[in-house]
Structure 1
């Protein structure tokens, strides 16, 4: 008879941040501090259905000499904190049982609700298995400068429910804005530890600053989470008053009818089963999502692809790994940052976009009926977008 393995006190760090804040950069910096002899695992929650971050991180690990590579698992197709506790429980349990990591990092989607995720990780069944370390939140100062972010409850939530705040892209702030940012943070969370990120570009002038930043960041991997400790006290008190049972619900999504059949991609093992070219589109949380996976031999015109992407209406995030006329490129676009870089050859091209629906932030506190949601989703002719993208293939 196979006996179950009991895991206890696995150090676990939650890295949160609003959409486009720069979580992946911080994750990469944390992974760079991993001792060679240790086994680490990373759980990535992608809001869309096409895994891109996990692919890039796995690819970067292939280029290292560390035999104890980092185990990566993706949960795609929705927020792990917005559906039920089941997807999170399954993903963590599989990582622990299959890879026996000595440390776990969790990166939820930028549209996640951090308080709900913290509530889940404070549940009794995780209190012995996971040793929760400081919750790290990433904040883009460029985003903060804009009212639509600064006054958005979802943007503020990441700061309210964190132990540590990593602030990046702050070089353009003047003294008055810097003081206003500090006051804004203090108003939301008086206990938070603030780390001002060093510039990503390494030069002789900032090399020492970068090393100091990485050292300060790595220390947070061993700092206990006061936010989760408080939530666990609440959970214990609540469990004493009442018995709570989990209600099983369907984790499948109901996307709009597509010209290509939609296939779930919640496990990396199913990647090879997808028939390409593949694409999907759907609406979640007043956001329109669309994604494409294309065979590796499809080569797209690099300049025309960028122009096409930037012409998309009200886009909030564009990510991809694409085979182009300029070689294999990693694309990472936010409204305040357009980044492309060359990468190694991939098994296929992947592209995912998040657009703001017609139900913008001005209506975020109102109830949207089904007809309004349908009209917002159908405002884009996705078949026409498919044809435009395919026209870029050389």
Structure 2
């Protein structure tokens, strides 16, 4: 598809957040800051087939609002999003663009699409914003969902909405959440009676690099000049880098089962890490592991879609020994 590029790349903001977090309210306030001589555009995505949020935004001159209904522009076919965005840029020629994906979306996938080379002449990506509802931070059932964590992890800026209605439990939960994501060096903004200004979020996008690769034991079977195959299914290993930190991770099939005590011993023996998080199918049931330098926590949880672990470090390291030791914790590995 041939893009009609504006004369200058358009500053583009993604405003993400879980269902009901306050994305549209934040967007309304940001749009109220538009200079009179500029045209701003909004691309909204609703999971259902009936658009509601568009009616809550300005319908006056100087704004162009388009909706993409049905499904999620983050993770469904890219073509509808590509077409809608291309038309919005070429027809409206905006000075600034806001994209609000559905609360059920994974913004990291949308970022990956919009930072591809063919969009760079048209879009100047700004820092990704994720909105969280401060008044619901005490609700562990809400904040422990994988999608919630994915949206937080993708963010450069986290806006805590309803900050003026937070109680003591919410404030404690916020401190724990900020500690958990400290390695990502995110900016946290409190939004209650005081509103967020455009200048606070109008920061350059800092890219995250993720390399999804075969398991390290499989990589050893390839010659030095041989390219690694594209990974489309479990199991796989990945390394992600952001702002001076590295995250090494593994995703493994849910049928793989691990010895709980061997796994616990292995994680407790690790050195030089900033964060260890994982969920495993063990012979003691499904367990989550959430380690920081102050606390080693593990607990029983419901069945997950896969086994997974992430380890955050500041210094690069060779992960082959850890992977080998991890697989030695597996029960009946020959049945894979």
TM-score range, shorter chain: 0.5 to 0.7
Report the Cα offset of residue 143 of structure 1: 2.7
Higher alpha-carbon deviation: 118-127 or 173-182: 173-182
Per-residue CA distance 1:194-241 (angstroms, 9 max, x = gap): 111022xxxxxxxxxx3xx33xx3114531011xx234x979xxxxx7
1:24-79 Cα deviation digits (max 9, x unpaired): 0000011001001001100000010001111232xx433xxxx4x21011000110
Find out whether 1:52 has 2:30 as its counterpart: no
The 1:120–1:141 alpha-carbon spacing in structure 2 relative to 1, beyond 3 Å, is: same
Give the distance between the partners of 2:4 and 2:174, measured in 1 at CA. Answer: 47
Count of residues in correspondence between the two structures = 219
Residues 221 and 103 from structure 1, CA distance in 2 versus in 1: closer, same or farther, beyond 3 angstroms?
farther
Displacement after TM superposition at 1:364 (Å) = 6.1
Distance 2:229 2:89 in 1: 27
**Mapping of residues 268-283 of structure 1, within 5 Å:** none
User: Is the 8 Å Cα contact of residues 162 and 192 (structure 2) preserved in structure 1?
Assistant: no
**Comparing 29-38 with 128-137, which one deviates more in the overlay?**
128-137
Cα distance in 2 between the residues matched to 1:243 and 1:92: 32
Deviations 1:52-111 (A, max 9, x none): 111232xx433xxxx4x2101100011011212212211110100111111110000000
1:99 to 79, 89, 92: 92
Pair 1:365-2:281 in alignment: no
**Structure-2 separation of matches of 1:88 and 1:185:** 33
Maintained 8 Å contact 1:19/1:110 = yes
1:174 shift after superposition: 4.1
| Alpha-carbon offset, residue 242 of structure 1 | 9.1
Q: Say yes or no: does 1:138 pair with 2:137.
A: no
Report the structure, 1 or 2, having the larger strand content: 2
CA distance in 2, matches of 1:4, 1:173: 45
Q: TM-score, normalised by structure 1?
A: 0.51
User: Does structure 2 retain, via aligned residues, the 8 Å contact 1:134–1:220?
Assistant: no
Distance 1:243 1:95 in 2: 37
- The match for 2:332 is none
- Shift of the 186–84 alpha-carbon distance from structure 1 to 2, 3 Å rule, reads farther
One of 73, 86, 91 as aligned partner of 2:66: 73
| Alignment gaps of 5+ in structure 2 | 213-226, 231-300, 307-336
Higher helix share: 1
Cα shift at 1:172: 4.4
Mapping for residues 287-326 of structure 1, pairs under 5 Å: none
Quickly say closer, same or farther: Cα 1:187–1:36, change in 2 above 3 A. Answer: same
What whole-Å deviation, never above 9, does each CA across 1:155-213 have from its counterpart, x for those lacking one? 111111111111112344444641431231331353111111022xxxxxxxxxx3xx3
Q: Residue 189 of structure 2: which of 195, 204, 218 is its match?
A: 195
Question: What is the aligned partner in structure 2 of residue 125 from structure 1?
Answer: 118
1:5, CA displacement in angstroms? 3.7
The root-mean-square deviation of aligned C-alpha atoms, in Å, is 2.7
Task: Give the superposition deviation at 1:115.
Answer: 1.4
Which structure has more RCO (C-alpha within 8 Å, separation ≥ 6)? 1
The residue that corresponds to 1:230 in the other structure is 208
Return the alpha-carbon distance in structure 2 between the equivalents of residues 171 and 54 of structure 1: 26
**When the two structures are superposed, what TM-score results if normalisation uses the length of structure 2?**
0.59
- Going from structure 1 to structure 2, the CA distance change for 1:362 and 1:76 (only over 3 Å counts) comes to farther
Partner of 1:238: none
Aligned-pair distance for 1:150? 1.5
- Whether the aligned pair in 1 keeps the contact of 2:143 and 2:149 (CA below 8 Å) is yes
Structure 1 position 137, deviation (Å): 0.9
Q: 1:23 Cα shift?
A: 0.4
Matches within 5 A, 1:337-352: none
What SS does structure 1 have at the residue aligned with 2:65?
strand
- Residue-by-residue CA offset, 1:120-168 (whole Å, 9 max, x unaligned): 1121111221101111111002332111112111111111111111111
Runs (5+) with no aligned partner, structure 1: 200-209, 236-240, 245-360, 367-394
